[in-house]
Amino acid sequence: MVVLPYTVAFLLLSSLQTVKIANSQSFIGINYGQVADNLPPPPSTAKLLQSTSIQKVRLYGSDPTIIKALANTGIGIVVGTANGDIPGLASGPNFAESWINTNVLPFYPASNIILITVGNEVMTSNDQNLVNKLLPAMQNVQNALNDASLGGKIKVSTVHSMGVLKQSEPPSSGSFDPSYGDLMKGLLEFNSANGSPFAINPYPYYAYRSDTRPETLAFCLFQPNAGRMDGNIKIKYMNMFDAQVDAVYSALNSMGFKNVEIVVAETGWPFKGDDNDVGPSIENAKAYNGNLIAHLRSMVGTPLMPGKSVDTYLFALYDEDLKPGRGSERSFGLFKTDLTMVYDVGLSTSSQKQSLAAASQPLIGAATSTSNNNSSMSMSTSTCNCTCNCTSTINISSGSKKVYLIRIFSLDLLYGFMGLSLIYLFFYDLQS
């Protein structure tokens, strides 16, 4: 069997394209919190990020050393204003203009700032002064960006907890708490008018803490489970993440804003906690984050938003040892401060390339030399009904001339090709 030259080129180009796609998964981001006293220097973190498939980073502030360190990396940067800045931003254009002049203009576009989040979980903060001033603050920041000719290039939004929902079960009945009323409508009108996302923090981990049955854990970790039926739309949900995101979609739809993009600003699972913490473990954290990443890479989407993956920022890059509260609050990091992984969820580009190389190895060994002839045509197939990495071969014969179509069906390649499950490589068996 001889591999034709154009087939070799196709194989090489496909492999390169696979690596390129695997390394440009723009829907995978990560949160970079700084409530810690042992974090590595920002340039080291920038190099770490470049060794992964993470393409976006969310900051809770606007630390210039981090923003500078990410310059010329192409990594999208979300910067945030502190909740305490909201009254000043809402007071008039001068404060917002000064904030943009200080925290954006000196770094953009070398540092790829893509979004400014005005405050974090303000709506559920129980601080009515901040709640009332949130929308004016966002409007002033947007106006300052417009004045700097950056309107549309950098978006403005705020980040919400799942507490803004009054109902989330079943997902098709998702609705916002009516007590937010006109303010939520005003925020959504802002999102719609400016093309900015509705950012939400869904955490299946916290849902599990309130319902610790084994079947709930499996549902939260994307593991095999019986699923949960949404009787309104006759669709069975197989994981909590999809259910939570679709509940938000339904809430947006119920207010006439289904076209506003949803961004998952935070989601994660702690790998350790206090003795009385329920759910934290290396196994659970690896299962949640690893299966979530695989789910996003599959591009299957959610039942109400099929065929696409929402931008999702994992929580978090590092542990934050100065955070108050339970031990689990300080143990969400995917990486240690020495830049090694706490556990592997397949984010390293080197591990992805190794998986690709391993999966393609049998193809090289299958190429041997024969000669050709012609005769009648027949077709045979071999199949594999497993969930592991495997191949199946379709042989199309024309006498002694055979065309081998080798189908690669590999979860690694499936995710690498972002949902393309079939790739056919053509080989001719030229027999006399």
What are the catalytic residues? 121, 266
Residue type, 127: D
The residue behind tokens 């098709």 is: 172
* DSSP secondary structure, 27-80, as one string: TEEEEE----S-PPPHHHHHHHHHTBS--EEEESS--HHHHHHTTTS--EEEEE
Give the 3-state secondary structure of residue 2.
strand
336/99 Cα distance (integer angstroms): 32
Helix, strand, coil distribution of the chain in percent, nearest 5: 40, 20, 40
428/430 Cα distance (integer angstroms): 6
Give the 3-state secondary structure of residue 237.
strand
376/257 Cα distance (integer angstroms): 60
CB-CB contact of 316 with 326 (8 Å) = no
CB-CB contact of 120 with 83 (8 Å) = yes
112/98 Cα distance (integer angstroms): 20
